[in-house]
Structure 1
Amino acid sequence: MDIDQSLIFNLVFLAGIAQIALVFGSLVIPAMLNWKTELAKVSLLIKQMFWTYAAYILVINLCFGVLSVFAIHELLNGSLLALLICGFIAVYWISRVLIQFLYFDRKSFPKGKIYTAGEFALVVLFVFLSIIYSWAFYVNSVS
């Protein structure tokens, strides 16, 4: 394994750990953003759909992390499946970065240093994940 291969393996592994950490960190977001009070204002169906979507996102992030930690060789073996999975993960995180800046109503963001620091950390993480999985996609495409 050359230095470039070693680097991408280490970075994908780190990305996996980061996504698993993100899942655990996400468990405090409902309390920090007061979801219970906010969701009390919507119908039961909307509330159920919201929690379902939130759970899907949490599970997808966890699965990306688990794949990146425990199936790293399969994610970087140059196969069509590895190419497509890395491409999917890259598009997922790139989309998340775009949503952050092009869709979210920034005026509604909570105020305060903790929220600003949290948003900064998340954006850095999302950009990091976008870059790493885009690079993994590239590595698989040239293998």
Structure 2
Amino acid sequence: MRNTDTLILMLYIAGAGQVFVALIYEWVRRILEWDADLARMKHVWNRQITNTYSRYIQGLNFAFGLLTLLFAPVFLETNIIVAALALIIGVYWGGRLIVALTYYNTEEITEKKRLFRIGAWAFNLLFGYLAVVYVLVFIVNQWPVTD
């Protein structure tokens, strides 16, 4: 397998992973009892803002995944816009991983069930994979790989 073929495969996996994260979001909200927690917020606008931001994030995850699935080979073309998009997506997922590892307190949920603990680690591995793939694509876009 050529280097570019490997990177394209990695991008397809990344795209599918992001679409998966977006689609599974409703199930995650349900098992984490997110809507019940939101309902207890004192101010309606805080609920609305939180809900709106979460939907934007879900939409971005889906859009990044769909763009990647539709245009994976294009990500390897030497193009400043493609490079910028890859870097933005890589930083986005790298930031998401850092927040998950340093800010979120997941003990309450991961102590309840082994599945939640496995799920938290699986998501973190996926976020790390996504960050690495897109930053790698950014680097390759700047210094193209020769097969």
TM-score normalised over the length of structure 2: 0.91
Mapped partners of 1:33, 1:106: distance in 2 = 11
1:107-126 to structure 2, matched below 5 A, reads 107-110=107-110, 111-126=112-127
Aligned to 1:36: 35
* Number of residue pairs matched by the alignment: 142
After TM superposition, the structure 1 stretch with the greater mean CA deviation from structure 2, 82-91 or 2-11, is 2-11
Amino acid at match of 2:36: T
Runs of 4+ in 1 over 2 A off after TM superposition: 105-111
Amino acid at match of 1:19: Q
Q: Kindly state the Cα deviation for residue 107 of structure 1 after the two structures are TM-superposed.
A: 4.1
TM-score normalised over the length of structure 1: 0.93
CA deviation string 1:55-76 (max 9, x = no partner): 1001100111111110123222
Aligned to 2:87: 87
Mapped partners of 1:109, 1:60: distance in 2 = 25
Aligned to 1:55: 55
CA deviation string 1:79-103 (max 9, x = no partner): 0011100000000000001001111
**Identity over aligned residues, as a percent?**
23
CA deviation string 1:86-137 (max 9, x = no partner): 0000000000010011111244444211210110110111111111111111
Mapped partners of 2:16, 2:37: distance in 1 = 31
Unaligned runs of 5+ in 2: none
Q: Secondary structure at the match of 1:27?
A: helix
Amino acid at match of 1:38: D
Q: Kindly state the Cα deviation for residue 6 of structure 1 after the two structures are TM-superposed.
A: 0.8
Mapped partners of 1:108, 1:23: distance in 2 = 23
Q: Secondary structure at the match of 1:71?
A: helix
Unaligned runs of 5+ in 1: none
